[in-house]
């Protein structure tokens, strides 16, 4: 790893326990100390952007400004072709403000119920950003995309969010049926974070 990032402490602009767990697992070998913003008393940023990348930058700037640390943030969600790209940036609140993962999942199942199985194409998108400090004018932006199909009933107990209905064709199972190591290798977040790790190691 490059001398500028080895052993660095970075605030992770998320309080989503599943996301924190995944990102920490992916960075465990890099000796980068990732601290969830909730541990530092950082308030949630208002996600007022109209795209994944705008929201990710808003969250990273907020976390960096309140913590004084470099920051990683991502905005991610699922795009369903039959729903013109919805839920998209609203994936975490698809069923309304304060909705649970199960509420959101059940709403999406209902929305695709009449869509023929072969037309239930979808993808997870992850836009991850790294800011050296709150005023950083050139954030590092990394994107990962994970293609799949949606099922009309949940399968599997791993993962979170929409994972139980996201069928991964190459594996013949849902994201929630994958072991964590396989999911981290294939997933949108894994792809984006691997690009970011290469940058932090001075390889990109």
Q: How far apart are CA 162 and CA 164, in angstroms?
A: 6
Beta bridge partners of 168: 173
Closest by CA to 138, choosing from 146, 149, 129, is: 129
| Known active-site residue 75 | yes
Start-to-end CA distance of the chain, whole Å, equals: 11
The tokens of 146 are what? 């994970």
Q: Match 């996301």 to its residue by tokens.
A: 19
Counted residue by residue, the chain has a size of 204
Q: How far apart are CA 95 and CA 22, in angstroms?
A: 24
* Burial (Cβ within 10 Å: 0-12, 13-18, ≥19) of residue 17: exposed
Catalytic residue selected from 29, 74, 75, 103: 75
Q: With H, G, I as helix, E, B as strand and everything else as coil, classify residue 38.
A: helix
Instruction: Please list the active-site residues.
Output: 75
């Amino acid at each position: 790893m490059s001398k500028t990032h080895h052993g660095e402490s970075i605030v992770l602009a998320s309080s989503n326990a599943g996301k924190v767990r995944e990102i920490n697992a992916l960075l465990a070998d890099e000796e980068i100390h990732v601290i969830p913003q909730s541990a530092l008393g950082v308030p949630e940023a208002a996600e007022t952007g109209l795209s994944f990348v705008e929201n990710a930058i808003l969250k990273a700037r907020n976390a960096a400004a309140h913590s004084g640390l470099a920051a990683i943030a991502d905005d991610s969600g699922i795009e369903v072709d039959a729903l013109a790209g919805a839920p998209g940036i609203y994936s975490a609140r698809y069923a309304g403000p304060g909705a649970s993962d199960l509420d959101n999942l059940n709403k999406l199942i209902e929305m695709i119920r009449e869509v023929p199985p072969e037309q239930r194409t979808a993808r997870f998108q992850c836009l991850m950003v790294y800011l050296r400090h709150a005023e950083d004018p050139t954030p590092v932006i990394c994107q990962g995309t994970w293609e799949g199909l949606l099922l009309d009933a949940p399968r599997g107990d791993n993962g979170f969010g929409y994972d139980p209905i996201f069928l991964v064709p190459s594996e013949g199972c849902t994201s929630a049926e994958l072991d964590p190591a396989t999911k981290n290798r294939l997933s949108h977040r894994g792809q984006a974070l691997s690009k970011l790790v290469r940058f932090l190691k001075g390889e990109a």
